[in-house]
């Protein structure tokens, strides 16, 4: 076991876990940040997507030791002062969620995309979102919402 002080959503959090514990389980089980979801456990579905220093990462495959020196942002930390982001507003506007399970990961990936590319093409969106699976197949609405968020 090791003691880690993590910077999560702008707050310091101290956890005592094994070095190889996936960040997903630290967030959910130790810190109660359950917006980040467990999907496949292999980094393939994107439900567990968080930002590490602004880059979208799969927290189910990221050992806490590898994330300990970075700034971690979860779905709970992207809205500022209770105000939805442009991506979150666009998600609502386009009725993107159906079951909603994948949406935190989808929003985190879309947010990272727009932070690095403010005017993405359909091909840019498809490439950036390709690691996020949606069993409800709302991909067209996701793409429309990203374009709407980019226009804001």
CATH number at 86-151: 1.10.150.120
How confident is the model at residue 119, as a pLDDT?
A: 97
H/E run at residue 8: strand 2-8
Percent of the chain beyond pLDDT 90? 96
pLDDT value of position 72: 98
pLDDT of residue 80: 86
Q: With 0-12 CB in 10 A as exposed, 13-18 as middle and 19+ as buried, what is 66?
A: middle
What is the mean predicted confidence (pLDDT) over 7-23?
A: 96
> Tens digits of per-residue pLDDT, 78-120?
998 889 999 999 999 999 999 999 999 999 999 999 999 999 9
Mean pLDDT for the stretch of residues 16-32: 97
In the block, tokens 């996701």 appear at 142
Domain ranges of the chain: 2-76, 86-151
Q: Read out DSSP for 128-152?
A: HHTT---TT--HHHHHHHHHHHHH-
SS3 category, 90: helix
Helices (H), the chain: 23-25, 64-67, 86-93, 103-116, 122-129, 139-151
As given in the structure block, the two tokens for residue 124 are 């840019």
- State the CB neighbour count (10 A cutoff) for residue 103: 23
pLDDT score recorded for residue 131: 93
CATH topology of domain 2-76: Ubiquitin-like (UB roll) (3.10.20)
The confidence score (pLDDT) of residue 1 equals: 87
pLDDT band, very low/low/confident/very high, at 74 (cuts 50, 70, 90)? very high
**CA–CA gap between residue 53 and residue 68 (Å, rounded):** 11
pLDDT of residue 118: 97
């Amino acid at each position: 076991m090791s003691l880690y002080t993590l910077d999560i959503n702008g707050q310091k959090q101290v956890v005592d876990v094994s070095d190889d514990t996936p960040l997903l389980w630290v967030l959910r089980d130790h810190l109660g940040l359950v917006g980040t979801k467990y999907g496949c456990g292999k980094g393939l579905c994107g439900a567990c997507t968080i930002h590490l220093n602004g880059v979208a990462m799969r927290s189910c495959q990221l050992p806490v030791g590898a994330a300990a020196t970075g700034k971690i942002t979860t779905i709970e930390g992207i809205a500022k002062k209770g105000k939805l982001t442009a991506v979150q507003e666009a998600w609502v506007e386009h009725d993107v969620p159906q079951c909603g399970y994948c949406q935190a990961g989808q929003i985190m990936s879309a947010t990272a995309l727009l932070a690095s590319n403010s005017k993405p093409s359909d091909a840019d969106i498809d490439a950036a979102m390709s690691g996020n699976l949606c069993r409800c197949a709302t991909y067209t609405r996701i793409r429309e919402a990203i374009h709407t968020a980019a226009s804001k």
